[in-house]
Chains A and B, each alone.
Chain A
């Protein structure tokens, strides 16, 4: 009997019950970026933590200026400076416990250094003597990632694997505002939320993806709002307020650690330098904008707070600056030595066991090197 034939007795049936999977309201970010410095909330802040953050900020700024200088001297192929963003870098490193993992992007050298990585090893990629200068498992820092957002699914997979093994491990993955447009950002957040993986995503919204401003990057109210669509909380924080970033990330890390699943944190900050030394920032932004952010410098904000509370005087400031200067001098001195390179390393780590094809090519290079050694050249001829 068709519907037409049973018209007399037909009653429309309601569709099967539907309800949203979760209540969206608790996932939504606040309207304003969360701040601690200069607000009443600062009263609750741990003084020792503020002092540690300050020392690391000053050190981080000095690292940025030293690495930028090394670029100008030709010691580094490139350096994407995080000047202005040090609060995010330092807070990301300090909220993690030893067994946790950090997944940095190419701009997050500083986070890796603040986590304890040797400053020279952190620059290997940018100097160009190898792609990664350290054993990721030793520091629990993934290799600095150049393709955008591709490290985010790695963080999810690692956190998921750790949880399957019953280990207490949280992964914190860093990405820029431009990276949030990539497909891997979407897939990583979706997997993390579905698997309830212990991951924290930190978006450093520094205003520009090279030259493209945020309003050409996204139509979302904030980047933190993107979290809601995946079913995870989105948090908005002042990225220049080290105490605020630390607090918000701390909450997210604790939540992940206790089985509460992932969080997306958007830190609103600003990139004071150009994208890299190859970029001319004056082509896409004005001085007034940069100056306005200069007044909101992360070091100034914390310095003001610590001074007002009597936690910082001239003597302590000098001690912090001296420590940063010593780090920079050591970095300069060690970076000004040419690294020792073995060209045969080119074939060492392609496969666990060299293939016949690579063995033949290694033999070819060895012969070329021996020939140039006999000829008294250092192989430069071949390079030309």
Chain B
């Protein structure tokens, strides 16, 4: 079958799927392909996870492959370290972003550096799934954006999907990676849908590559995870203002794709970093600095950040004021000193 015909056939077989379903399918396919893969966490068994990502896995693969653990995040990740030391590939679920904090010591002191401290003799292929971010009306401790903590730790990969296809492809790649990956799942995109064919190979870029989701000439929106759809919406709305915005989905915060990002900003000459987590000490500061170092002579304006406020995550009835929305993004684009443009 020709490539074109194959693509057409794949498209025909595609059906609407949610991101949660694609993630579940990625776990299922990984479990089926590699007996070393084990899923563990609180409620991942009979319940199928509180977001149903692990639905049916215990039934299909048995309790030894998809294991309901005691309620203890340090214990879940700590035992996963031992399992990986013995040659398994554990995929652990931290039920919510703020519930992952008890496991921080294991993550920072052991998961991130076991390869390094053993001079490469003992890599730990562990995937840590962390549902993160706001927008679902969660009560306190259910909506943190903790990506900066993970980014600051050498030895970890930090990735986050924004599309259904990427949810599948990036999770498969994370599980296959010989390095530990913190896999950040944007909670409010769990129910986002796209036409997707689980049986056809997914054409997704590898971990470490950013992807241009929308091409434009006026300015670049640099974003990831839950803010990608918001930026796409902002870019559509910007057309009415006469701005043609490019949207870059970073996909991977560590390693960071300086090349794709710099190439885009050099083309457009202007950049806004958009994310939900707080701006101070947040990912945006690092990204803006990297862009400035590489693109200073191409920049028509300072790199701006549109971030969440520097406050503890707000209660559900107020979170819409905290999360960067279309208007706040367009306001930032407006501040990119358009008068300087000839």
Chain A positions near chain B (C-beta within 8 angstroms): 130-132, 135-138, 142-143, 147, 150, 152-162, 164-165, 171, 183-184, 187-188, 190-191, 194, 345, 348-352, 355-357
Query: Are B81's CB and A157's CB within 8 A?
Result: yes
Q: Are A142 and B85 in contact (CB under 8 A)?
A: yes
- A136-B118, A190-B75, A355-B255 known; A157-B105 Cβ under 8 A: no
Q: Is the beta-carbon distance between A357 and B74 smaller than 8 angstroms?
A: no
Q: Which of B111-136 contact A (CB under 8 A)?
A: 113-123
Cross-chain contact B119 with A150 (CB below 8 angstroms): no
- A142 contacts across to B, CB distance below 8 A: 85
Q: Which of B64-72, B276-284, B319-327 contacts A (4 or more CB under 8 A)?
A: B64-72
User: Please, which residues of chain A bring their CB within 8 A of the CB of B74?
Assistant: 153, 183-184, 187
Q: Are B208 and A135 in contact (CB under 8 A)?
A: no
- A residues within 8 A CB of B85? 136, 142, 154, 157-158, 161
In the assembled complex, B79 has its CB within 8 A of some CB on chain A: yes
Determine whether the beta carbon of B83 is less than 8 Å from that of A161: yes
Kindly state the separation between the CA atoms of A161 and B106 in the bound complex, as whole angstroms: 18
Query: Is the beta-carbon distance between B105 and A150 smaller than 8 angstroms?
Result: yes
Any A CB within 8 A of the CB of B178: yes
B140 to chain A, nearest CB (A): 22
Q: How far is the CB of B78 from chain A (nearest CB, A)?
A: 3
Within 8 Å by CB of A351, from B82, B88, B106, B115, lies B115
**Bound form: Cα–Cα A147–B78 in Å:** 13
Q: Is there contact, CB below 8 Å, between B82 and A154?
A: yes
B193-252 residues with Cβ-Cβ distance < 8 A to A are: 208
Interface of B, helix, strand, loop or mixed by DSSP: mixed
User: Can you name the residue of chain B whose Cβ is closest to the Cβ of A349?
Assistant: B120
> Are A132 and B78 in contact (CB-based, < 8 A)?
no
A150 and B78 in contact, given A142-B85, A161-B88 (Cβ under 8 angstroms): yes
Chain B contacts with A in 3-31, Cβ cutoff 8 A: none
Known contacts A184-B78, A190-B70, A355-B256; 18 additional CB pairs below 8 A are A130-B117, A130-B119, A132-B118, A135-B122, A143-B117, A143-B122, A152-B78, A153-B75, A153-B77, A153-B81, A156-B79, A158-B82, A183-B74, A191-B75, A355-B255, A357-B255, A357-B256, A357-B258
**CB-defined contacts of B106 to chain A, threshold 8 Å:** 150, 153, 184
Smallest CB separation, B214 vs chain A (Å):
24
State whether A136 touches B121 (Cβ < 8 A).
yes
Categorize the interface residue count of chain B.
35 or more
**Does the CB pair B64–A164 fall under 8 Å?**
yes
Query: Is B177 interfacial (CB-CB < 8 Å)?
Result: yes
Q: Does B166 contact A (CB under 8 A)?
A: no
Q: A131-B117, A135-B121 are in contact. Are A160 and B78 (CB under 8 A)?
A: no
B267 contacts partner chain A, Cβ-Cβ < 8 Å: no
Q: B residues within 8 A CB of A345? A: 119
Query: Most chain-B Cβ atoms within 10 A of its Cβ — which of A131, A164, A190, A351?
Result: A351
Q: Is the CB of B109 within 8 A of A147?
A: yes
Chain B residues with CB under 8 Å of A356's CB are 255-256, 258-259
Do B119 and A349 touch across chains, with their CB atoms under 8 A apart? yes
Closest to B65 in A: A164
Cα distance A143–B124 in the bound complex, in angstroms? 14
Cβ-closest chain B residue relative to A146: B109
Which of A155, A160, A190, A349 is within 8 Å of B115, CB to CB?
A349
* Chain A residue with Cβ nearest B79: A157
Q: Can you identify 25 A-B contacts, CB atoms within 8 angstroms?
A: A130-B119, A132-B118, A137-B122, A147-B109, A150-B109, A154-B78, A154-B110, A157-B90, A158-B83, A158-B86, A161-B87, A161-B88, A164-B64, A165-B86, A184-B75, A187-B70, A187-B72, A188-B78, A190-B70, A190-B75, A191-B75, A191-B79, A351-B155, A351-B157, A352-B178
- Judge whether B154 is part of the interface by a CB distance below 8 angstroms: yes
Q: Determine which residue in B70, B79, B82, B118 has the highest number of CB atoms from chain A within 10 A of its CB, and name it.
A: B82
Answer whether residue B179 sits at the interface, using C-beta atoms and an 8 A cutoff: yes
Known A158-B85, A348-B119; contact A183-B102, beta-carbon cutoff 8 A: yes
